[in-house]
Amino acid sequence: MDLPVMPPVSPMLASAAPDIPPGRLYEPKWDGFRAIVFRDGDEVEIGSRSSKPITRYFPEVVAAVLAELPERCVVDGEIVVASADGAGLDFEALLARIHPADSRVRLLAEQTPARLVVFDLLALGDEDLTSRPFGERRSLLEAMLPGPGSGVHLTRATADLEEATRWFEVFEGAGLDGLVAKRPDQPYQPGKRVMTKIKHMRTADCVVAGYRVHKGTDDAVGSLLLGLYDDSGTLASVGVASSFPMARRRELFAELAPLVTDDPEHPWTVAAQSAGTRTPREGETSRWNTGKDLGFVPLRPERVVEVRYDHMEGPRFRHTTQFQRWRPDREPESCTYAQLDRPVRFDLAEVLGG
């Protein structure tokens, strides 16, 4: 492949901000796999955020690129999968697309087809566009993709702060997780955090029902395992909190020691047994990633913690939460899904069709 911008190319990145900055171009923030897509005639290569090739996992995206993009180009975008009802994004279904068996990949490409949402143009024909201002690259991208395709979509963009604020409020209902703000005069800077991302932030009180031991030592907590009670009174595993200094990790290890239990009636062990499965315990690993330890140390579900989170993916927090404080004033049984702020549903087709 002989394009002016050669793979691998690290995507331009964003740093977080609490508020929407004025005077920028604004785009919805898509919740998928970041992808730099290269096309040269009949050849297509898709690189991930870490520049690893992910082409083989998305044959339907390759077909869409061949059908809908110019013969020689490099674009920056996001691969997403719509939910079964088509109303929003489904990140869990997207994760399932990364499978080692080619037959499974082909089946999932039919059952849960992915789409490419494009938001930047890095090269067109023989011209490297990365040194041009983003405003120019955006205009060229709009001319290149004048209408919504079946598998390749041009993301919405606006310079209107009021409109961007509305998107921030309503697009979450379609599974998007905020906004990205870009300077119109900004060249493309691979690997640099020169964009701004604005994400939803909320708090929740959760039960701490276990922890994972830190990878680097056996006397420190790696992450706290969080739970919420559902309508049936079952304590569901909803995510983790893991951003602690090493000194605090060792303190937590000692603080939580009195709560460590081998009780077979631990709620997650009981839930796993009733479902016909077995909860991974300390030292066990994933069959797909032999280096990933899935084990945990069970705790009596007696302590409550307040965490910050951005949004939910089904019954779980989409990303790692941020520890805020312990809540000794809360009873564990009061930590239910009912406390969570649920966004009003919004049709994904309206976002894509914009």
Please give the positions annotated as active site.
Answer: 29
Task: For residue 124, give every residue at least 6 positions away whose Cβ sits within 8 Å of its Cβ, in sequence order, or none.
Answer: 70, 72, 73, 140, 144
Number of C-beta neighbours around residue 35 at 10 A: 24
182 vs 134: CA distance, rounded Å: 8
Distances (CA, A) of 198 to 25, 29, 182, 287, 323: 13, 8, 11, 36, 19
CA angle in degrees (0–180, nearest 5) for 292-295-298: 155
First to last CA, the chain: 33
Query: Is the distance from CB of 79 to CB of 61 less than 8 angstroms?
Result: yes
> Could you identify the residue written with the tokens 């009596």?
300
Question: How far out from the chain centre does Cα 229 lie?
Answer: 24
Query: Is the distance from CB of 214 to CB of 221 less than 8 angstroms?
Result: yes
| Burial class for 47, CB neighbours closer than 10 Å (0-12, 13-18, 19+) | buried
Distances (CA, A) of 92 to 148, 184, 190, 312, 314: 25, 34, 28, 11, 9
